Amino acid sequence: MGLRRLLALSAVAAAYGVAALTAAGAVKAQTSILNVSYDVSRELYKDVNAAFVPHWKSTSGETIVINQSHGGSSRQALSVIGGLEADVVTMNQSPDVDILVERGGLVAKDWRSHFPHGATPYSTFSVFLVRKANPKQIKNWNDLTRSGLQVIVPNPKTSGNGRYTYLAAWGYALKTQGSEAKAREFVTSLFANVPVLDGGGRGASTTFTQRDVGDVLVTFENEAVALQKEFGSDKFEIVYPSISIDASAPLAVVDKVVDKRGTRKQATAYLEFLFSPTGQEIIARHHFRPRDPAVLARYAERFPKVETFTVEAFLGGWPKVQKEHFADGAIYDQIAVKR
Amino acid sequence: MRATSARRVLPGFGLSLGFTLAYLSLVVLIPLAAVFLKSATLSLSAFWDIVSSPRVVATYRLSFGASLLAAAINVVFGLLLAWALVRYSFPFKRLIDALVDLPFALPTAVAGISLTAIYAKNGLLGQFLEPLGIKIAFTPRGILIALIFIGLPFIVRTVQPVIEDLETEFEEAAACLGATRWQTIVRVVLPALLPALLTGFALAFARAVGEYGSVIFIAGNLPMISEITPLIIITKLEQYDYAGATAVASVMLIVSFLLLLLINALQAWTRRSARKG
């Protein structure tokens, strides 16, 4: 290739790049809000947005565009701290909203009281997905510690899903065996059975379903149902443990951003819509457990009753859990290094 | 100033040096300085505790070890590949030549996922390897495979032009003077290629040390066994521990920089000795 042609080509490429970058910036002119959310809520919010846009048009007469951004929950929070202009955040664990209060005061301190149910429109919890006919007879958390079994869990250090699994196992042991020392032994032998630690929930699903690794996948109920639907119930079965951890999905309006962009009204209405019967219906359709009792009753056969405990009530709250279990050098690190 | 620039044969020294410094600062030095500044918020003992914890040290061993090994393997096979591409003609040569660049262009996550799919126990190659007791996916071996994959073009593309410039007359002359084939390779061909090979090695190594996307899918990411240093950094970031993340990052940067400096020195030395010889 001649030098001249090369130069011309790179000039075209550069011009194209600049055009693409500025075009991305220009979209903002319309009334739009950005929902920054976690990894596996993509499908849910696609449906929610499709329902909210006509709803908002009929109530306010305004045409609105909802943009979505998805990724690992904590990484998304980091982006918002770093300047991603999210009007609302919809995460899968409350530390990822609390951090927005701590760093830069992006969200009001009392965000939990701004919406019903502690600002969590739905919850889910950790369940087991096993291979067809449950060949290893996995029924409850204590089965996961049997030697020779392979348990697939996403990395608790990088994934909210993995963190909930760890805490569910910890809580189960605490409830059934009574002491923290026993609980520690329990999670140690459980995590000694983990052959792969994927970065996030979807990665773990792929490892279990496509790579054929492991006897059981521990993941959120909605993810387990989605996997079973995709691959067929003749391949995988869902097992509900006797007890699990309540994983309520928190959301908040990002005050600093909506005040700057003048979108508080729209952002608040968008989040309130999730608590409305229509929103709750969409949530239930995606196999997240809705808060509205009427909707829950309608989908009762989808949601077997399972006893759950919360991080706040049973484990002393997220800051404590974070410090004692997941901080560098804390219990999770200690048991992980010992394997 | 005017007097000195007038004496230079090439004009524009001041302008180009100024531009070089400004560009390098903007693109490289300022972000790197930010890393060191952030890690400087830690006390010395806290810094040391973070960067010397057993789990982090295990990742250095894996990251640097696997990267060096992958680059070394690529030097051997990349050289063969480049040699074949330059010296022989065969059908679809252009196509194969273009294939070499693919690891450059492929998003690393795609590379990681496809390698995992191939080497998992139900994968294209894994199904034959696993019964033989060779596990690749979700072990450190998988990391090596991924790093070899992403490093290959660096060696081939740096050595290829040098082989093209290498006149076959030298080899013929060596043969006429009674050199065996082996002597021709060791005494004539390799010394000429060595500087380029070292450059390729350095590039492939540097790329491999920082690689995250492709490795993360195939590694298994078990603490003390198959965690790479970039994963530790990401893990710390996701826990909002910026200072800890930059502490590990700065160790990585310093070690990489020293290793690259060493390779550069080696390269300068081989150039000099080649000229003398």
In tens, the pLDDT along B74-111 reads 999 999 999 999 999 999 999 999 999 999 889 998 99
Contact flag B238-A158 (C-beta cutoff 8 Å): yes
Q: What span, in angstroms and rounded, lies between the C-alpha atoms of B245 and B262?
A: 26
Pair (B56, B158) in one structural domain: yes
Q: What are the pLDDT digits (tens) for B192-209?
A: 999 999 999 999 999 999
Pair (B15, B151) in one structural domain: no
What residue ranges in A61-215 does DSSP mark as E strands?
65-70, 88-90, 122-131, 151-154, 197-198
For residue A94 the two structure tokens come to 């409350």
> What number of residues does chain A have?
339
Its sign, for the CA torsion B73, B76, B80, B85, is positive
Its sign, for the CA torsion B81, B85, B91, B92, is positive
Note the pLDDT of residue A18: 62
Burial (CB count <10 Å: 0-12, 13-18, 19+), residue A112: middle
Per-residue pLDDT of chain A in tens (339 residues, 90 and over written 9): 466 666 666 766 666 666 666 555 444 456 899 999 987 788 899 999 999 999 999 999 999 999 999 887 888 898 999 899 999 999 988 999 999 999 889 999 999 999 999 999 999 999 999 999 999 999 999 999 999 999 999 988 888 889 999 999 999 999 999 899 999 999 999 999 999 998 888 889 999 999 999 999 999 999 999 999 999 888 999 999 999 999 999 999 999 999 999 999 999 999 999 999 999 999 999 999 999 999 999 999 999 999 999 999 999 999 999 999 998 889 998 988 765
Contact flag A328-B50 (C-beta cutoff 8 Å): yes
Q: How confident is the model at residue B25 (pLDDT cuts 50, 70, 90)?
A: very high
Note the pLDDT of residue A327: 86
In B, minimum Cα distance to A193 occurs at B222
For residue B234 the two structure tokens come to 């990401």
Q: What are the pLDDT digits (tens) for A167-195?
A: 999 999 999 998 999 999 999 999 999 99
Identify the residue among A97, A151, A155 best suited for mutation to test binding to B, counting B beta carbons within 10 A and taking the highest. A155
- H/E element holding A236? strand A236-239
Concatenating the DSSP letter of every residue in A232-285 gives: -TTTEEEE--SEEEEEE--EEE-HHHHHHHT-HHHHHHHHHHHHSHHHHHHHHH
A49: nearest Cα among A59, A38, A64: A64
- Chain B residues within 8 A of A155 when measuring between CB atoms: 221, 235
> What residues make up the domain containing B265?
43-276
- Chain A residues within 8 A of B221 when measuring between CB atoms: 155, 196-199
* Phi, psi at B121, each rounded to 5°: -70, -15
Residues 6+ apart with CB under 8 A from A44: A282, A283, A286, A288
Q: Is A115 helix (H, G, I), strand (E, B) or coil?
A: coil
Restricting to A residues 276-295, those with a Cβ less than 8 Å away from any Cβ of B are none
- For the packed helices B54-87 and B229-238, what is the interaxial angle rounded to 10 degrees? 130
Pair (B94, B131) in one structural domain: yes
Of the partner residues B120, B234, B238, the one whose CB lies closest to the CB of residue A213: B120
Q: What span, in angstroms and rounded, lies between the C-alpha atoms of B142 and B162?
A: 32
User: How many domains is chain B partitioned into structurally?
Assistant: 2
**Measured in whole angstroms, how far is the alpha carbon of residue B137 from the centre of its chain?**
21
Note the pLDDT of residue A40: 79
Of the partner residues B120, B224, B244, the one whose CB lies closest to the CB of residue A337: B224
Smallest Cα distance from B10 to chain A, Å: 20
Q: What span, in angstroms and rounded, lies between the C-alpha atoms of A310 and A326?
A: 17
Pair (B10, B94) in one structural domain: no
For residue A302 the two structure tokens come to 């989808």
* Phi, psi at A239, each rounded to 5°: -115, 125
Query: Is CATH 3.40.190.10 correct for A27-121+249-302?
Result: yes
Contact flag A211-B137 (C-beta cutoff 8 Å): yes
A228: nearest Cα among A220, A13, B81: A220
- Chain A residues within 8 A of B238 when measuring between CB atoms: 72, 74-75, 78, 157-158
Contact A296, A290 (CB under 8 A): yes
Pair (B75, B120) in one structural domain: yes
Note the pLDDT of residue A32: 92
Q: What span, in angstroms and rounded, lies between the C-alpha atoms of B242 and B235?
A: 10
Q: What span, in angstroms and rounded, lies between the C-alpha atoms of B243 and B230?
A: 15
Pair (B101, B10) in one structural domain: no
Identify the residue among B130, B240, B246, B248 best suited for mutation to test binding to A, counting A beta carbons within 10 A and taking the highest. B240
Q: What span, in angstroms and rounded, lies between the C-alpha atoms of A288 and A246?
A: 12
The pLDDT of residue B273 is above 80: no
Of the partner residues B222, B224, B235, the one whose CB lies closest to the CB of residue A158: B235
Contact flag A74-B244 (C-beta cutoff 8 Å): no
Contact B122, A212 (CB under 8 A): yes
Contact flag A326-B222 (C-beta cutoff 8 Å): no
Contact B53, B224 (CB under 8 A): no
Q: Where are the domains of chain A?
A: 27-121+249-302, 124-247+306-338
Averaged pLDDT, B162-177: 91
Pair (B23, B119) in one structural domain: no
For residue B182 the two structure tokens come to 């082996």
- Chain B residues within 8 A of A337 when measuring between CB atoms: 54-55, 223-224
Q: Is A196 on the interface with B (CB under 8 A)?
A: yes
- Chain B residues within 8 A of A207 when measuring between CB atoms: 138
Residues 6+ apart with CB under 8 A from A72: A38, A39, A158, A159, A160, A199, A200, B238
Identify the residue among A79, A193, A211 best suited for mutation to test binding to B, counting B beta carbons within 10 A and taking the highest. A211
Averaged pLDDT, B145-169: 94
Give whole-number Cα distances, B87 to A109, A299, B14, B128, B165, in Å.
69, 70, 43, 34, 11
Pair (B108, B177) in one structural domain: yes
Q: What span, in angstroms and rounded, lies between the C-alpha atoms of B117 and B218?
A: 9
Pair (B22, B138) in one structural domain: no
Pair (B9, B60) in one structural domain: no
* Phi, psi at A88, each rounded to 5°: -135, 150
Task: Give me the interface pTM, i.e. the ipTM.
Answer: 0.75
Helix, strand, coil shares of chain B, percent, nearest 5, are 80, 0, 20
Smallest Cα distance from A115 to chain B, Å: 26
Note the pLDDT of residue B232: 92
Identify the residue among B221, B226, B228 best suited for mutation to test binding to A, counting A beta carbons within 10 A and taking the highest. B221
Contact flag A333-B223 (C-beta cutoff 8 Å): yes
Q: What span, in angstroms and rounded, lies between the C-alpha atoms of A24 and A26?
A: 6
Q: Is B62 on the interface with A (CB under 8 A)?
A: no
A124-247+306-338 CATH fold: D-Maltodextrin-Binding Protein; domain 2 (3.40.190)
Pair (B68, B148) in one structural domain: yes
Restricting to A residues 202-231, those with a Cβ less than 8 Å away from any Cβ of B are 203, 206-207, 210-213
Q: Is A103 on the interface with B (CB under 8 A)?
A: yes
Which residue type sits at B31? P
Q: What span, in angstroms and rounded, lies between the C-alpha atoms of A287 and A304?
A: 12
What residue ranges in chain B does DSSP mark as E strands?
none
User: What is chain B's Cα-based Rg?
Assistant: 23
Pair (B114, B229) in one structural domain: yes
**Measured in whole angstroms, how far is the alpha carbon of residue A275 from the centre of its chain?**
18
Q: How confident is the model at residue B1 (pLDDT cuts 50, 70, 90)?
A: very low
Contact flag A196-B236 (C-beta cutoff 8 Å): no
- pTM for the model stands at 0.82
Q: Is B217 on the interface with A (CB under 8 A)?
A: yes
> What number of residues does chain B have?
277
Q: Is B117 on the interface with A (CB under 8 A)?
A: yes
What CATH number is associated with residue B216?
Answer: 1.10.3720.10
Q: Is A204 helix (H, G, I), strand (E, B) or coil?
A: helix
- Chain A residues within 8 A of B113 when measuring between CB atoms: 206
- Chain A residues within 8 A of B53 when measuring between CB atoms: 328-329
Q: What span, in angstroms and rounded, lies between the C-alpha atoms of A259 and A255?
A: 6
Smallest Cα distance from B173 to chain A, Å: 33
Contact A210, A51 (CB under 8 A): no
Note the pLDDT of residue A74: 81
Q: What span, in angstroms and rounded, lies between the C-alpha atoms of A236 and A275?
A: 32
- DSSP one-letter code for A28: G
- Chain B residues within 8 A of A74 when measuring between CB atoms: 238-240
- Chain A residues within 8 A of B234 when measuring between CB atoms: 158, 199
